[in-house]
Amino acid sequence: MNFNWHPDERPPIIDPHSKAKLDVLRNYLRAYFDRLNVNPSREEFKIDLVDGFAGGGTFRNDEKIVSGTPLIMLEEANAATDRLNENRTKPLRFDYKCYFIEKEATHADHLRKVLSERSYALDDGKIAVRNCLFEDEVEDILTAIKHRQPRAGRAIFLLDQTGFSQVKLTIVAEILRELPAAEVILTFAAEALTNYLANTPQMIAMVAPLELTKSQIQDLIQLKNGNAGRALVQRTLREQIRLVTGATYDTPFFIRPKESRRALWFLHLSKHPTARDVMIQVHWAIQNTFEHYGSGDFGMLGWDTLRDPGTVPLFNFNEMDQEIMRTQLLDTLPRELFSLASEEPVTIDAMRHRFANRTAARYSDLDSIVLQLFREGEIEILGANDRVRSASLQNLRAIDRIVMPKQTRIFFDDLRRDSK
């Protein structure tokens, strides 16, 4: 949806999708700041926050004024400064800088007015409001971040575009290449994407795993407001986006508020697994906001889901979905672990990283299932001293190692031979 701001007028009325996005962003920043600053002896945390389509800074929700993305970034950074220093003997210096990019002059003027009214100084080096296209400014921003953070280059880029074609994926690739610790939140209007797919000649090749006829594929695409069309978007475009951008980790799920039939593809892209785990935790924490069209286990984005477009499963990140996912993972994880650890032990950390993109599970979900398999004797867990850990083990350490017992290896070896 297009919003209009003018410094002499009231802000626009917020829509359900924007409310949901703001809720996700606020929760993510809060959880992310906490996760990266758990070490009480840390003295400094640097981060740059970039909003590439900043808008005017506020919305109306009934008669209440609510913060837009620029204000949320500032509010959460300042709140984290106070929260993270509450119980520290050594103070943490929370050093942030925000870049707010907005191409429309009246929108940028409204944002400056909003910031001034809330006593944010635009000349203190912490906040930069720029009236230009994001693509014209990104090179200067990357240079500034690398100068300010020559080692880490930690940054969050929010690219909340209208439609699906305002952000070139090559720009996202450049961000992740130049700043390995950066992450990008990228949005696409789902219906715009399904329209695009419907008119893409290469579609037949893209959906080859479905083994459907051209007419069947066109029928699938025509379900533009249904689960099948969005599921098709996930399966055909997700890998292409990861390939072009170089993102190692992603969350490829949709936002669809209860009040709306439209959906928004909310992609989180990064090269580090902690960011991915924090984002997937937010998906679970804000139940019934995110949707996924498929299962939550290792078949999360399998093509079989689309063979019957009328029965594409809907996954809402709620308690029932969690129970179903857990049951599925208990059934499939042993075989996956055998493939991973049949030759030599594998650390818990390596297991988490390997499976992160293949399931809707959090690290805590994977750990819980690994612990259950350990207690049931299907796997062994070795500690730092190479001894099997206690059967009463409650919490896994990242350096703990998974070992397949001899009888388990024999069982899966027999299965493998029988399948040949």
5 lies in some domain: no
Pair (146, 293) in one structural domain:
yes
Residue 405 has pLDDT above 80, yes or no: yes
Q: Do 72 and 217 fall within a single domain?
A: yes
Q: Are residues 270 and 344 in the same domain?
A: no
Reported as a pLDDT band with limits 50, 70 and 90, residue 237 is confident
| Residues 170 and 107 placed together within one structural domain of the fold | yes
Residue 276 is part of a domain; what is its CATH number? 3.40.50.150
Assess whether 150 and 277 both reside in one domain. yes
pLDDT tier at 415 (50, 70, 90 boundaries)?
very low
- Domain count along the chain: 2
- Residues 54 and 78 reside in one and the same domain: yes
CA distance from start to end of the chain: 54
pTM: 0.89
Same-domain check for residues 251 and 354: no
The answer to whether residue 419 scores a pLDDT higher than 70 is no
Q: At 203, is the pLDDT very low, low, confident or very high (cuts 50, 70, 90)? A: low
One domain, residues 245 and 289: yes
pLDDT band at 210 (very low <50, low <70, confident <90, very high): very low
Report percent pLDDT > 70 for the chain: 84
Residue 311 is predicted with a pLDDT of 66
| Boundary residue ending a domain (293, 315, 337) | 315
Range from 180-184, 270-274, 312-316, 379-383 carrying the lowest mean pLDDT: 312-316
Answer whether residue 11 is part of any domain: no
**Structure confidence by residue, pLDDT tens digits, 79-95:** 999 999 998 988 999 99
pLDDT above 90: percentage of residues in the chain: 60
How buried is residue 394: exposed, middle or buried, by Cβ count under 10 Å (0-12/13-18/19+)?
exposed
| Pair 323, 311 in one domain | no
The predicted pLDDT at position 313 comes to: 78
Among 36-40, 174-178, 211-215, whose mean pLDDT is lowest? 211-215
- Quick one: pLDDT at residue 152? 84
Is 10 among the domain residues?
A: no
- How confident is the prediction for the chain on average, in pLDDT? 87
Residue 8 lies in a domain: no
Domain span at residue 347? 319-419
